[in-house]
Copies of this chain bind each other. A is one copy, B any other.
Amino acid sequence: MVLQFDLLKTEGLARRGRLTLNHGVVQTPVFMPVGTYGTVKGVMPRSLIEMGAQIILGNTFHLWMRPGLDVLRQFGGLHRFEAWDRPILTDSGGFQVWSLGAMRKISEEGVRFASPVNGDKLFLTPEVSMQIQSVLNSDIVMQFDECTPYETKGVPTTEADARKSMELSLRWARRSQAEFTRLQNPNALFGIVQGGMFEHLREESLAALVELDLPGYAVGGVSVGEPKDEMLRIMAHTPHRLPAAKPRYLMGVGTPEDLIEGVAQGVDMFDCVMPTRNARNGHLFTRFGDLKMRNARHKSDERPIDETCRCHACASGFSRAYMHHLDRCGEMLGPMLASIHNLHFYVNLMHEVREALDGGKFATFRAQFAADRARGIG
């Protein structure tokens, strides 16, 4: 079996589903912690299990650079290498080479760039991306695509350029699928809808991808520097148009509010570096708004980060004063506990969303969530 998706329940556009993959079952909507280099930064796998993480990401580009394919092939893929036996999704590397900016050159064939690790000249194509992801043996493989920028040097991408980019991604989708098939990869390949901020380009992209009959679809090219209202416009337009019988993945989004909005628009899967990256900067998410641990007002606060939270950081007697102290001293335990807390918040938020959907109470949950977050934490 490659992938099975069961749509269990809907409420408006919101969906409650179950995704069965080669390494296990994923209840949706789901948040997927990001493990770029084969580790979710600062978090032990067992902590991910404890918080209920069902599936994590790996970054094809980074893992290709280090540890490299020889090592990953020897380990039979990423799962054993990083000691994680639940499902894994890998991106295609497209977004990362695109992020290299001036250091890369994009052509019809693929992307030429110099390795940021050792300067080696490298060439990433749809075929190479599929070959790497086959070695990684990730449960969900993403097509190689070009991420259409929102703007270049302050100038928003024109419709003509967005079309060119979207059409290139489509041709790369077909090449990805052909190579994925040739490699007899036993996992599931997802297509990525592009089209920038142009609804009709998004629709064209989607229609062409649907013809490929892939087992899942993603919305890419959001959260790439566009204003919030532009992102919300695309989130309101595209996700619910993806095939209803297949899982829908909104790439790289976002804040807790963005996730709830995404669910309301019919998204099943999310990933974002925000919980771990913000944790390392002392930015903690809670049900009642966010906390900046660096703020001196926490200096002698005996309360846990969030009294209603059941994560290891909140339930083990660590106070805000202690978190503030760890941050101030640059002690590793600070980001370690903060990362657990933030990831738990994101993972658990989706757990609560699933419960709400199961009970037909997502609308109520959504309203309560907005009110709680706006209340602010004392």
Using a CB–CB cutoff of 8 Å, the interface residues on chain A facing chain B are 37-39, 41-46, 66-67, 70-71, 74-75, 80-83, 299-300, 302, 312, 316-319, 321-322, 324-326, 328-329, 331-333, 335-337
Contacts and interface: CB of A to CB of B under 8 A. Distances in A.
A71 to B, nearest CB: 5
B322 A82 contact: yes
Given A66-B329, A329-B37, A317 B80 contact: yes
A336 B44 CA distance: 8
A84 to B, nearest CB: 9
Given A299-B71, A329-B66, A83 B39 contact: no
A336 B336 CA distance: 9
Contact of A325 (B44, B67, B70, B335): B67
Given A70-B300, A74-B300, A42 B332 contact: yes
A83 B325 CA distance: 13
B41 A316 contact: no
A42 B80 contact: no
A318 B83 contact: yes
A336 B42 contact: yes
B322 A81 contact: yes
Nearest to A340: B44
Nearest to A82: B322
Nearest to A37: B329
Nearest to A46: B316
Nearest to A38: B325
Contacts of A75: 302, 319, 321
A328 B81 CA distance: 15
A240 B305 CA distance: 49
A44 B321 contact: no
Contacts of A42: 332-333, 336
B316 A45 contact: yes
Given A42-B333, A302-B75, A66 B317 contact: no
A37 B325 contact: yes
A71 B41 contact: no
B302 A39 contact: no
Given A83-B317, A300-B74, A66 B328 contact: yes
A332 B336 contact: yes
Given A44-B337, A81-B325, A83-B322, 13 more contacts: A44-B312, A44-B336, A66-B325, A66-B329, A67-B299, A67-B325, A67-B328, A71-B321, A71-B325, A74-B302, A75-B319, A81-B319, A83-B317
A75 B301 CA distance: 10
Pairs of residues from A and B, 5 with the lowest C-beta to C-beta distance, nearest first: A83-B317, A42-B332, A67-B325, A39-B333, A37-B329
A45 B313 CA distance: 11
Contacts of A71: 299-300, 321, 325
A44 B83 contact: no
Contacts of A324: 67
A75 B303 CA distance: 11
A169 B346 CA distance: 55
B44 A333 contact: yes
Contacts of A45: 316
A268 to B, nearest CB: 29
A336 B318 CA distance: 19
A331 B46 contact: no
A38 B322 contact: yes
A332 B332 contact: yes
Contacts of A41: 331-333
A296 to B, nearest CB: 11
Contacts of A337: 44
